Amino acid sequence: MNAVERDGPAAADAGEVGVMAGPAGASPVLEVEKVGKRFPLEQPPLRRLRDWWKGRPAPVLQALREVSFSVGARETLGILGESGSGKSTLARVLMGLYQPDGGRATLLGEDLFTADRARRAWCRRRMQMVFQDPFGSLDPRMNVRQLLAEPLSIHLPFPRGEWEERMVRGLEEVGLEGDSLDRYPSEFSGGQRQRISICRALILDPVLLIADEAVSALDVSVQAQILELLVRLKEGRGLSLLFISHDVAVVRQMADRVLVLFKGTIVESLPARCLLEDVVHPYTRRLLGAALHLREGRPLPPVASGTPAPAAGTQFPSTQAKEPNPPTGESGLVSPEPPGESDDLPPALNAEGGDSSGRPRKGGCGYSPWCDVQSDRCAEPPPEMEVHPGHRVRCWRDRP
C-alpha cells in the first residue's frame, strides 16, 4: 500500500516527503487562522429568566479569540499560559473534540473543520495528542495490546499482520519492553503510562504531536526523562510538536518558538531563546517573575517601562507549582469580561495595581486590571506590533 492509498489524496497533494524533509519552519504543517471558541455559562433559572425578559444576551466564556499561528515542519511551538488561558481548549478544538465558533485550521493543507468525513479522519490520524493525566487517559480495563490496537483498528492504516510488530517496535521506541503488551495500565508507573500514551499516539505515524501538559503530572526526575524522549522521538521521526504547558522553564527548554496565551488571546509570540531576556508584554514578564520567585524566593521583577528583564543566562528553574490564576469561570475557562464579583483574583496581582474592581476595561486590554504600566490608550484594544523579526506583542506599552 503506497502513501497515497494509505493516506488519501491529501498526502499526494501535500507532498508528504517534501514537508517532512524541509527545514524547521519552512513549510507549515499546521496553520491556524482566527480560531475562536465560546462556551455558554450556566445560570440560575431566575437570572436566566430575568436576562431573557430584559433582552440581555446569554453570558458566555470566551475561551479563544481569533487565535492565529502556524507550526513548521520539525518545529516545536510552545504554548505558554496559566490555567484557564485557553491552552487546552485550543488543543481540543484542533483535535475536533470541541467545535470552533469561527476561523480556519489546516493540517498539510487539509481543512480540519470543514473537510469531509474521510479527510477529517485522515487529519486526525496525522495529528495526535498526548494528554496530561497518564492515569485517566488510559482505560484501566484494557491491556497495552488493546490500547495500542484501538487506534489501529479505527484508522486501519496498516495490514493487520503488521500490528503486533508495530506495537512491539513502538514500545521499544518509547523505552518499554516489548513483552509489556499483556500488562494493564495499573501495573505501570506514571512515567511508564505516559510512555504508553506517547506510543499510542505515535503508532499511527502522525506528522504533528500535540503534548498538552504532558509532563505536568509527573515527578521532576520522570519529567526530564519524558521530555528527553519527546525530543528524541521528534528528531528521529521528523515530527512537529505543539507543546502546551504552564511551565516557563519546560517550554523554553523544548520549544523553538513560544506563544503566550492570556484569556484566549495571544499576547506575545517570540523565539524561545528570547524568553528570559527579551519579553515585552507585562503578563509574560509576570509569568517569568513569578516562576523565578517561586523557586528562588526572588522578588517579582517590576514591569515598569525600561526595567531590565532577568539577566541573560539566568538559570531558570522548573516550576511545578502553578501560577496564581486569573479569574476563571466554573468550567475553568476564562471569561473576557468576568461575570461577577466572585472572580478569584490572585492577591499578588490585585496588590500590584490596576483596576481595583478587577474588571478589564470594557473593549480594552483584558490584562488591564493587573497591569501597572497601563495608560489611557489601554481602553482601546491593543494592536499587534513587531518588536523584532519573529517577535510580536499585543500591547500599547512603549508604543509611540
- Should residue 288 be labelled a site residue for ligand SF4 when binding is judged by CB under 6 A? no
Set of cell numbers at residue 383: 494592536
- Should residue 261 be labelled a site residue for ligand SF4 when binding is judged by CB under 6 A? no
Q: How far is CA 376 from CA 197, 274, 382, in A?
A: 49, 29, 11
End-to-end, the C-alpha distance of the chain in Å comes to: 59
Would you give the DSSP letter of residue 120? H
Whichever of 85 and 368 has its CB closer to ligand SF4, that residue is 368
Whichever of 45 and 308 has its CB closer to ligand SF4, that residue is 308
298 torsion bin: left (phi>0), alpha (psi -120 to 50), beta (else): beta
Please count the CA atoms within 13 angstroms of the CA of 110 that sit on its side-chain side.
28
**Whole-number minimum distance, CB 67 to ligand SF4, in Å?**
18
Please count the CA atoms within 13 angstroms of the CA of 196 that sit on its side-chain side.
34
- Should residue 262 be labelled a site residue for ligand SF4 when binding is judged by CB under 6 A? no
Which residues touch 329 (CB under 8 Å, ≥6 apart)? 39, 41, 61, 84, 335, 339
Site string for ligand SF4, 357-376 (x = CB under 6 A): --------x-xx--x-xx--
Grouping H, G, I as helix, E, B as strand and the rest as coil, residue 104 is strand
Q: Binders of ligand SF4 among 137-176, rule CB under 6 A?
A: none
Q: Binders of ligand SF4 among 67-106, rule CB under 6 A?
A: none
Q: b/e map of 95-129 (b: 16 or more CB within 10 Å)?
A: bbebebbebebbbbebbbbebeeebbbbbbbbbbb
Whichever of 316 and 396 has its CB closer to ligand SF4, that residue is 396
- Should residue 397 be labelled a site residue for ligand SF4 when binding is judged by CB under 6 A? yes
**Among 282, 301, 306, 330, contact with ligand SF4 (rule: CB under 6 A):** 282
**Whole-number minimum distance, CB 263 to ligand SF4, in Å?**
11
**Whole-number minimum distance, CB 6 to ligand SF4, in Å?**
48
**Whole-number minimum distance, CB 376 to ligand SF4, in Å?**
10
**Interface with ligand SF4 by CB under 6 A: which range of 231-239, 290-298, 317-325, 390-398?**
390-398
**Whole-number minimum distance, CB 271 to ligand SF4, in Å?**
21
Whichever of 88 and 374 has its CB closer to ligand SF4, that residue is 374
- Distance, in Å, from the CA atom of 145 to the CA atom of 152, rounded to the nearest integer, reads 11
- Should residue 284 be labelled a site residue for ligand SF4 when binding is judged by CB under 6 A? no
317 with 252: CB under 8 angstroms?
no
Q: Which residue reads 470566551 in cell numbers?
A: 62
What is the torsional sign of CA 352, 356, 360, 361?
Answer: negative
**Whole-number minimum distance, CB 89 to ligand SF4, in Å?**
22
Which residues touch 284 (CB under 8 Å, ≥6 apart)? 80, 260, 267, 268
Whichever of 38 and 397 has its CB closer to ligand SF4, that residue is 397
Closest CA to 330 of 49, 41, 82, 38: 41
- Should residue 395 be labelled a site residue for ligand SF4 when binding is judged by CB under 6 A? yes
Grouping H, G, I as helix, E, B as strand and the rest as coil, residue 198 is helix
- Should residue 382 be labelled a site residue for ligand SF4 when binding is judged by CB under 6 A? yes
**Whole-number minimum distance, CB 66 to ligand SF4, in Å?**
16
Which residues touch 220 (CB under 8 Å, ≥6 apart)? 318, 320
Residue-level length of the chain: 400
**Whole-number minimum distance, CB 32 to ligand SF4, in Å?**
23
- Should residue 396 be labelled a site residue for ligand SF4 when binding is judged by CB under 6 A? yes
Whichever of 245 and 368 has its CB closer to ligand SF4, that residue is 368
Whichever of 106 and 368 has its CB closer to ligand SF4, that residue is 368
**Among 112, 204, 287, 378, contact with ligand SF4 (rule: CB under 6 A):** 378
**Whole-number minimum distance, CB 252 to ligand SF4, in Å?**
21
**Whole-number minimum distance, CB 374 to ligand SF4, in Å?**
4
- Distance, in Å, from the CA atom of 244 to the CA atom of 87, rounded to the nearest integer, reads 7
**Whole-number minimum distance, CB 305 to ligand SF4, in Å?**
9
Whichever of 223 and 284 has its CB closer to ligand SF4, that residue is 284
Whichever of 15 and 336 has its CB closer to ligand SF4, that residue is 336
| Residues lying near ligand SF4 in the complex (CB under 6 A) | 282, 365, 367-368, 371, 373-374, 378, 382, 395-397
